[in-house]
Structure 1
């Protein structure tokens, strides 16, 4: 992958940190979990409008509203905040406002959000949001209400139509469903990039080494982030400043009677110990579902077949991948 230009993003946490004075704002509104193609369109229009003398501002939330309003033992995040902010910087955003979402915040009346937050605090001159945008207590605020407010206040309001892929709107929920089914290639089409999981490499049980395929065992940085469905995937592992092709298994090691979910990656053309290193695994394509094998030798033969398929899938990957 070509080296990316270093970019800077001013980030403030909470309304009180928002800088006073300065130019008005071209606001992009939404949770923006995943920063998928639809989000990129909304934000891109706000950034373009800001070139006319405004400041481009993205408003996002932490934690995700779903985690507060509809808590579930199943993870929902596509991007942690630490992943989201660099992606926003690369989109050319000037300022990101991270608002803490809790039950008290969820009860903010729509009029307060419009007049006190968008109008007074953020100095909105132009507002960009998806056509299905909702806000305020019990979602009493709608995209149409934002448009009506804008007309009354002399604020531009642009409701951006959904981006369609294969005739269906791109959405975070669609990406979550794809990942839970192991459809990482579909998720990549909707995100505009491969889906990735970051964390630290931790010591494992050494099962892979005994089979001739030593693995780096990833402890994901956030348990709140979705993992693709159990199975074997062609992946790209970024570690120690290099990017390696790899085969990643997500599952319970059923051949060995495992009971704990693990994320294990065999790196092509790598020999060494990565324990303690930070690593990011990006999912390119699914090879097969996880299953138990009658013997370790049968598993080793299957891994050899899996690696043949992995190399085929990675043949068209970005330049600079070690494979």
Structure 2
């Protein structure tokens, strides 16, 4: 990082296609500077590192929010002594009470300041808060289009209710922390087990098990064979299949799961073409 000549500054929750435009402006010798607000839930904490090859420096907002413009630029120059270029978005503000904008940055910093215009997709501006809204209503396709990658949550493996393997289908159950959990329902997904490099085709359920014990679950059924999960799993969401629903019997639930599996298999087959 000390040798970086360019940096891109922002919150960068989601590492979406708008953020990627900023990263492209840095050139090869760049570092991403994340201002960590504590509100990131699309790519919480160091999850951002899964979506960029650039090194990342994290600055906690609480530790720098008191700085004036000169103090902020001095901090950046102390972290990056060879700094020649700063890349920010059109809505970037910094300093105490967010008083300073990119216009002030151009005055305070002697090098180049590149301001990236608003990024749009099919006429709609790309923002993290819009991605969150899409995920919360189950519009996974829309969220993924804005992200430029599949929305993914990660968690620790936990023991399920035990009904699945005996009476329904075997699932891998996870407990996640810090991630925005999608709307309750059933999804076409890809699931990565432990430290495997590849993802398995899967059907995932999020929600309260209203037909059985009523408990909340995040669980994934692997479609290409039974696998054993030791400690952790990642679920990447492809598309929404249906809402969570209470069935009158285990048999009805079983039939619905069969339909979900067929839908997922067809969807994933199409994606593979």
TM over 0.5: yes
In structure 1, C-alpha distance between the alignment counterparts of 2:232 and 2:148, rounded to whole Å: 24
Partner of 1:107: 66
Partner of 2:37: 65
Distance apart, 1:318 and its partner CA? 4.7
Which residue, 258, 264, 271 being the options, matches 1:310? Answer: 264
Gap regions ≥5 residues in structure 1: 1-9, 11-18, 68-75
Partner of 1:122: 80
Which residue, 143, 154, 159 being the options, matches 1:203? Answer: 159
Distance apart, 1:257 and its partner CA? 3.9
TM-score (norm 2): 0.91
In structure 2, C-alpha distance between the alignment counterparts of 1:169 and 1:305, rounded to whole Å: 36
Structure 1 residue ranges (4+ consecutive) displaced by more than 3 angstroms after TM superposition? none
Distance apart, 1:161 and its partner CA? 0.8
In structure 2, C-alpha distance between the alignment counterparts of 1:141 and 1:257, rounded to whole Å: 53
1:20-47 CA distances to partner (integer Å, 9 max, x unpaired)? xx5x62111111111110111101111x
Gap regions ≥5 residues in structure 2: none
SS in 1 for 2:189: strand
Partner of 2:14: 34
Q: Report the aligned-residue RMSD.
A: 1.9
In structure 2, C-alpha distance between the alignment counterparts of 1:257 and 1:203, rounded to whole Å: 14
Distance apart, 1:180 and its partner CA? 1.0
The count of residues paired between Structure 1 and Structure 2 equals 270
Distance apart, 1:118 and its partner CA? 2.8
Asked if residue 134 in structure 1 is aligned to residue 108 in structure 2, the reply is no
Aligned ranges for residues 140-289 of structure 1 at < 5 Å?
140-150=99-109, 153=110, 155-220=111-176, 223-239=177-193, 240-259=196-215, 261-274=216-229, 276-289=230-243
1:205-228 CA distances to partner (integer Å, 9 max, x unpaired)? 1121233311110122xx211111
In structure 1, C-alpha distance between the alignment counterparts of 2:79 and 2:258, rounded to whole Å: 59
In structure 1, C-alpha distance between the alignment counterparts of 2:78 and 2:202, rounded to whole Å: 51
SS in 1 for 2:238: strand
Partner of 1:80: 44
TM-score (norm 1): 0.78
Contact 2:188 2:267 in 1 (8 A): yes
